[in-house]
Amino acid sequence: MKVLVTGGAGYIGSHTALELLHAGHEVVVIDNLCNSSLESLKRVELLTNKTITFYQVDIRDGDEISNVLAQHPDINATIHFAALKAVGESTQIPLKYYQNNVYGTLTLLEALQKAKITNFVFSSSATVYGEEAPVPYVETLKTGIPSSAYGKSKLMIEQILSDLVKSDPSFKVACLRYFNPIGAHESGMIGEDPNGIPNNLMPFVAQVAVGKRDKLSIFGNDYPTNDGTCERDYLHVVDLAHGHVKALEWLEKQSNGICEAFNLGTGNPLSVLEIVNEFSKVTNVNIPYEYAPQREGDLPAFWANADKAKVELNWTADKSLEDMMKDTWHWQSSNPQGYGK
Ligand code: NAD
Ligand code: UD1
């Protein structure tokens, strides 16, 4: 297959590009590099000894997308990662998030519809279940109201995709609802390289470990969980990347007019303290931490029921917690400044 990957230079996109190439597919990436570096894709090429076709294109530019598609009439499917994803920032500048994520996706879909490229995998998030959903989250639950503009943009796109499929059954769509992807490729050559102070737990821990930050603040130790810290479903980014290859294969076998959501997680909740302790155990690096107040918008605990992905996509998250920690450390210690972007 030849696959169009939007946002392919980013964290999950670069790992997925690598797995697509390993699986024998061709990859065309469009990315405006607003939160990534071309270096990630150069490293994927080195790791695979294969070539990626790259275009620095913004998904809000329909003409540019159509130009790319005209040069590749043999593209069979799209994996759509391109989005802004900082939850806190999305609350401060919601219009920018809706413009980039929602308008960007609409523009992309119009160009794909014109070009008749109708197999589509979307990067969604567990946040679409909203704040009231019972755990573990299962796809049969109704979606809720996400707390942030970022989360709402993901839910809106799922709804747009569902309407699109109803109106144009030539489309086949898989919405992949990620839980908490962490880790890096085992080579240590590609990984997560956030701008500025990391918002997410794992990159913060990794930056404390290399001495870039003094200590971790654990947001809340008074939650109704075993050790009082929040619980999440952390999965290895390489497992997540495999999930995209599986979703593409699944789409190929479906009849037209399908739009399905899949949880991609391990099904096992882990607390912030468990993550910090496991990281120290696996790497032998102590992580100084202090308890801080709860972070606004955080839920005490959520994790996936991942049965649907297992049964229908033939996908499970196989890598261990130890792999997640080891690979995070390998990437961060070999690249203390990330890609140096
Ligand atoms: P990332 O920021 O590393 O990757 C996103 C990529 O999209 C970047 O390379 C960025 O430059 C590009 N991009 C953004 N806006 C664009 C635009 N208008 N035009 C072209 N390119 C654009 O983020 P990631 O962690 O790899 O996330 C990938 C996708 O997965 C996103 O849609 C994100 O919302 C979703 N997601 C991520 C997580 C997570 O924990 N990382 C969880 C759930 C869902
Ligand atoms: C967050 C987003 C979610 C998004 C996901 C991936 C919120 C409320 N949710 O999920 O919508 O899909 O990122 O981008 O922001 N923690 C600390 N100290 C830190 C950082 C985090 O204690 O410095 C804790 C958090 O309180 C949380 C856990 O670590 O309990 C995981 O946090 P994080 O990695 O930010 O992911 P989520 O909050 O689950």
Residue 24: which domain range? 2-181+235-265
- One-letter identity of residue 100: N
Per the listing, tokens 């075993």 go with 226
Instruction: State which ligand 2 atom lies nearest to the alpha carbon of 127.
Output: 11
What DSSP string describes 230-250?
-EE-EEEHHHHHHHHHHHHHH
The residue nearest atom 16 of ligand 1, judged by CA position, is 82
Peptide bond into 136 cis (omega under 30): yes
Q: Is position 286 within any domain?
A: no
How, if at all, do strands 216-219 and 289-292 pair? parallel
Peptide bond into 94 cis (omega under 30): no
Nearest alpha-carbon partner for 173 in 102, 262, 99, 110: 262
DSSP symbol at 196:
S
Q: Is position 299 within any domain?
A: no
Count of the separate structural domains present in the chain: 1
Q: Is position 12 within any domain?
A: yes
Other beta carbons within 10 angstroms of residue 337's beta carbon come to 9
pLDDT in tens, the chain (341 residues): 999 999 999 999 999 999 999 999 999 999 999 999 999 999 999 999 999 999 999 999 999 999 999 999 999 999 999 999 999 999 999 999 999 999 999 999 999 999 999 999 999 999 999 999 999 999 999 999 999 999 999 999 999 999 999 999 999 999 999 999 999 999 999 999 998 999 999 999 999 999 999 999 999 999 999 999 999 999 999 999 999 999 999 999 999 999 999 999 999 999 999 999 999 999 999 999 999 999 998 999 999 999 999 999 999 999 999 999 999 999 999 999 999 86
Q: Is position 35 within any domain?
A: yes
- The domain spanning residue 174 has which CATH number? 3.40.50.720
Q: Is position 138 within any domain?
A: yes
43 three-state secondary structure: helix
Q: Catalytic pick from 97, 150, 178, 234? A: 150
Q: Is position 63 within any domain?
A: yes
Question: ∠ CA(332), CA(127), CA(12), 5° rounding?
Answer: 35
Nearest alpha-carbon partner for 43 in 322, 240, 246, 338: 338
The residue nearest atom 12 of ligand 2, judged by CA position, is 125
Q: Is position 214 within any domain?
A: no
Catalytic residue check, 150 = yes
The structure tokens listed for 24 are 């024998």
Q: Is position 203 within any domain?
A: no
| Buried residues in 28-42 as b, exposed as e (16+ CB within 10 A) | bbbbbbebbbbbbbb
Other beta carbons within 10 angstroms of residue 86's beta carbon come to 18
